[in-house]
Amino acid sequence: MATKYETVIGLEVHIELATESKIFCSCSAKFGGEQNDHVCPACCGMPGMLPVVNKHVVDLGMTAGMMLNCHINRVTTFDKKSYYYPDLPCSYQTTQWFAPVAVNGTVRINTSKGEKDIRIKQIHMEEDAGKLVHDDWTNTTFVDFNRTSVPLIEIVSQPDLSSAEEVVAYLERLRSLLRFAKVSECRMEQGSMRCDVNLSVRPEGSKVLGVRTEMKNMNSISAIERAIEYETARHIDAIENGTEELVQETRRWDDIKGKSFAMRNKETAGDYRYFPDPNVMPVCIDDEWYDGIKATLPEFPEVKREKYINELGLGEYDADLLTESRALCDVFEAAYAESNLAKESANWIISNCMKVLNRKQMTPDMLNIDGKSLGKLIKLVADGKVGNANARKILDEMFENDIDPEKYATENGFIVSNDTGRIQDVINAVVAADQKSVADFKGGKEKALMALFGKCMKELKGNCDPAVLREMLLKTIQ
Amino acid sequence: MDREILRRLEKLNQLQLTEEQKDSFLAFYAKQTEEMAILDSVDTESVERMVHVMPIYTVVREDKVIKKYSREDLQKGAPETTEGYWQVPRLVE
C-alpha cells in the first residue's frame, strides 16, 4: 500500500504596525515618499546614535498578544541579531529573542474539518529593513533607508498547521483579529502583512519531523496556497522517487512560474549570534500600562456578529459584512445608538456608505464619518423630514466635513416641506405643461404618472413627502 | 571550540584570520569554555532571569513624527550617492 504523508507547517508572519513614527526614532513610518526622505542619523546607523523606544509599538505588540491569547512578558527586552546586508546599516537588526513581548498563545481556526487551535510560540517586536535597488548599468546597488526601522511584529506559530486550507484559515483569522484591534491594516499587496512558510513532510503517524524548508516572497493568500501545494508535492516526490536531495534551506516562491527556487542554506539561530542590545534598556510594562491596553481591546468579530443577529435582528449577510471591519462596526454601533434603528443603520452603511467608499477608492477600514451624525441623518429620513436623494447628498458632505445633518439640511433647503399650497402650485404647473402624460395616464399607462411625479419632485427639489405628493397628484389629474 | 567552528565564525563575521591568530583564538576560547562550564554546572532553575545588571528600565517616547534632518545633510559624508540613494558595491550577481 502506498505511504500516506502528512504536511507539517509553521508560519512566521510579519505585520507592519499602524504607527506614525518608526520604532526607535521619530522619523515617519509612512509608506512611500522620496527615497531617503524619512531618515535621521539613528535609522541611518550613524555612529553614536541611540535608539529610543516608541511607546505605541509596545502598545500594539501587547494588543496583538492579548488578541491571540498570549502571556504578556511584563519585562520585555530587545536583542541584536547579526546581519551583514546594507538594507540595515548597523550590521544588525534590533529584534527580540530572549524575552519577546508575548508568548504561548492560541488562535482558533475553522476549516471544512471543524475547529482547531493553532498554538502561537511568540510575538516579537522588531525593525524592518530598507530597500535595495540593484542597478545593472552601473553594476552597483542603491540603498533607500525609508523603511529601515519601521516597526513590525513577527508572529511565530508552532508547527500545528497541516494543509493549505488551514494556513489560509489561520492567516484570515489573524488578519481579521489584528485589523479589528487596529494593530495593522494587514494588506498583503502593500507588504504590511508578509508570511514565511516553514514546511516539512513525514509519513502519517510518524513522530519524526522531515527536512524543513522555508519559503519567502509570497504576497497574496492564494500565492501561499499554491506555494504550499507545490512544495508538499516536491517533498513527497523527493522522498519517494529520490528526484533530489532535500536540504534545510530558504527558498523563494515564484508565483508566475509556479515553482520555488533555492535561495540560500538556512541559517540557524546560532548563526545570528543574538545578544542583548546594550543600547535599549529593558521595557517594563507596569500594571497601569497593562490594564490600560486590556481595557481598549475590542469585542471579537464573532461576538459582535452574534449580538447583531440575536439582539438587533440583523440578517446573517448584513452581520457578516459589518463585522468584516472594525470601522464599519464602530460607525454602525454609534448610528444605532443615536437612531435606535438597527436595520436602517446597517442598510445605510452597507449600501450608501460603501458606494461612497468605492467611489473614493477607499477600503471599509477607512470609513471615518461620525456614527452619531449618521444616526441623526437616518432618523431624519425615517421621520420623513429629509428625502432619500437629499439624504445621500448630506452623506456625501459628511465624508468631506464634520457637519450636523439637520443644520446642514435646513441651511440647504433639504427639509421636506409641508406647504401643500406650494405643492399644489407645482402640480398645477407640471400638469398644465405636460398634457400628453396626463392623457397617457388616463388611457391606462401607469408609467406616465411616474413621469409627472418625477417632474414635480424635481421642481420641489426633493423636499416633499413622496406619499403626500402622489396623493395630491392623483387627485389633481382625476 | 575547534577549527571548524572557528572557520564558521570567521565566515559569519567576514574576517580572514592568519594561522597565528587562529591558534591564539583557539587557546583563548578553550580557557573561556572551561570557565563557562563552571557556570553551567550551577543549578539556576529557580533563579529569575536577570535582564540587566542595573535595576533600570527604558524610557519610551510618544508616537510623534519629528523631522530634524535633510537627506542632503545626512549624505554629506557618503562616498557616493545617486538621485538621493546611497550607492554601494553591487550585492548580488
Query: B36-59: per-residue pLDDT in tens?
Result: 999 999 999 898 888 778 888 999
In a domain, A355, yes or no: yes
Contact B87 A44 (CB under 8 A): no
Judged against a pLDDT cut of 80, whether residue B1 lies above it is answered with: no
CB–CB of A94/B46 below 8 Å?
A: no
Per-residue pLDDT tens over the stretch A162-189: 999 999 999 999 999 999 999 998 988 8
pLDDT of residue A245: 86
pLDDT of residue B43: 93
Contact A143 B86 (CB under 8 A): yes
Count other Cβ atoms within 10 Å, centred on residue B64.
Answer: 10
Q: Are strands A140-144 and B85-89 parallel, antiparallel or unpaired?
A: antiparallel
Contact A98 B82 (CB under 8 A): no
Chain A CB contacts of B1 below 8 Å: none
- CA torsion sign for A207, A212, A214, A220 is negative
In a domain, A215, yes or no: yes
Residue A445: φ, ψ to 5°: -85, 100
* CA distances in angstroms from A272 to A50, A81, A91, A250, A311, listed in the order given: 22, 5, 11, 15, 53
Our CA-based measurement puts residue B89 at a distance from the nearest CA of chain A, in whole angstroms, of: 5
In a domain, B91, yes or no: no
Q: Which three cell numbers stand for residue B90?
A: 553591487
| H or E stretch at A6 | strand A5-16
Please tell me which residue of chain A has the smallest CA distance to B84: A35
Chain A CB contacts of B66 below 8 Å: 21, 26
Structural domain for B52, as ranges: 3-86
Residues A452 and A404 in one domain: no
| CA angle (A79, A85, A87) in 5-degree steps | 85
Contact B83 A35 (CB under 8 A): yes
Chain B CB contacts of A55 below 8 Å: 60-63
Per-residue pLDDT tens over the stretch A16-43: 999 999 999 999 999 888 999 999 999 9
- pLDDT band for position A419 (50/70/90)? confident
Chain B CB contacts of A276 below 8 Å: 51-52
In a domain, A293, yes or no: no
Our CA-based measurement puts residue B5 at a distance from the nearest CA of chain A, in whole angstroms, of: 11
**What length is written for chain B?**
93
Judged against a pLDDT cut of 70, whether residue B78 lies above it is answered with: yes
pLDDT of residue B61: 96
Say what the alpha-carbon torsion angle A337, A342, A345, A350 is, to the nearest 10 degrees. 130
Structural domain for A164, as ranges: 5-284
Contact B85 A144 (CB under 8 A): yes
Contact A34 B74 (CB under 8 A): no
pLDDT of residue A371: 94
Which among A252, A284, A316 is the end of a domain?
Answer: A284
- Could you say which of B58, B63, B86 has the minimum Cβ distance to residue A21? B63
Judged against a pLDDT cut of 60, whether residue A456 lies above it is answered with: yes
Residues A110 and A256 in one domain: yes
Q: Whole-angstrom Cα distance, residue A345 to residue A334? A: 9
- pLDDT band for position A126 (50/70/90)? very high
In a domain, B93, yes or no: no
pLDDT of residue A266: 57
In a domain, A294, yes or no: no
Residues A124 and A253 in one domain: yes
Q: Where are the alpha helices (DSSP H) in A367-465?
A: 371-382, 388-400, 405-411, 420-433, 435-442, 447-459
pLDDT of residue B93: 57
Residues A163 and A265 in one domain: yes
Residue A161: φ, ψ to 5°: -95, 145
Half-sphere exposure of residue A165: CA atoms within 13 angstroms, side-chain side: 7
Which among A393, A411, A429 is the end of a domain?
Answer: A411
Residues A377 and A442 in one domain: no
In a domain, B92, yes or no: no
Per-residue pLDDT tens over the stretch A352-361: 999 999 999 9
Judged against a pLDDT cut of 60, whether residue A114 lies above it is answered with: yes
Q: What is the DSSP letter of B58?
A: -
pLDDT of residue A267: 63
Residues A148 and A209 in one domain: yes
Non-local CB neighbours of A184 within 8 Å, separated by 6+ positions: A15, A16, A17, A18, A60, A178, A192, A193
In this prediction the pTM is 0.81
pLDDT of residue A75: 94
In a domain, A198, yes or no: yes
Output the domain CATH number for residue A448: 1.10.10.410
Q: Poorest-confidence range of A146-160, A176-190, A363-377, A409-423?
A: A409-423
Contact B64 A21 (CB under 8 A): yes
Our CA-based measurement puts residue A369 at a distance from the nearest CA of chain B, in whole angstroms, of: 24
CB–CB of A16/A192 below 8 Å?
A: yes
Residues A169 and A27 in one domain: yes
Our CA-based measurement puts residue A253 at a distance from the nearest CA of chain B, in whole angstroms, of: 18
Judged against a pLDDT cut of 80, whether residue A3 lies above it is answered with: no
* Mean pLDDT along residues A277-300: 95
- CB-defined contacts A:B, below 8 A: 126
pLDDT of residue A470: 87
pLDDT of residue A1: 56
For a pLDDT cut of 90, what percent of chain A falls above it? 63
In a domain, B80, yes or no: yes
What's the domain count of chain B? 1
Residues A441 and A400 in one domain: no
Residues A197 and A57 in one domain: yes
Our CA-based measurement puts residue B91 at a distance from the nearest CA of chain A, in whole angstroms, of: 7
In a domain, A289, yes or no: no
Please tell me which residue of chain B has the smallest CA distance to A44: B74
Q: What is the mean pLDDT of chain A?
A: 91
Which among A284, A307, A327 is the end of a domain?
Answer: A284
- Could you say which of A39, A75, A86 has the minimum Cβ distance to residue B88? A86
Structure-model confidence comparison of residues B54 and A233, the more confident one: A233
Q: Which three cell numbers stand for residue A196?
A: 514565511
Q: Poorest-confidence range of A292-301, A458-467, B14-23?
A: A458-467
Residues A270 and A393 in one domain: no
- pLDDT band for position A317 (50/70/90)? very high
pLDDT of residue B34: 92
Please tell me which residue of chain B has the smallest CA distance to A41: B74
What's the domain count of chain A? 3
In a domain, B50, yes or no: yes
Residues A356 and A450 in one domain: no
- pLDDT band for position A13 (50/70/90)? very high
Per-residue pLDDT tens over the stretch A261-281: 888 665 666 778 899 999 999
Residues A144 and A278 in one domain: yes
Q: Whole-angstrom Cα distance, residue A208 to residue A183? A: 37
Residue type, A361: Q
Structure-model confidence comparison of residues A247 and A290, the more confident one: A290
- Could you say which of B61, B89, B92 has the minimum Cβ distance to residue A54? B61
Contact B63 A273 (CB under 8 A): no
Judged against a pLDDT cut of 90, whether residue A387 lies above it is answered with: no
In a domain, B41, yes or no: yes
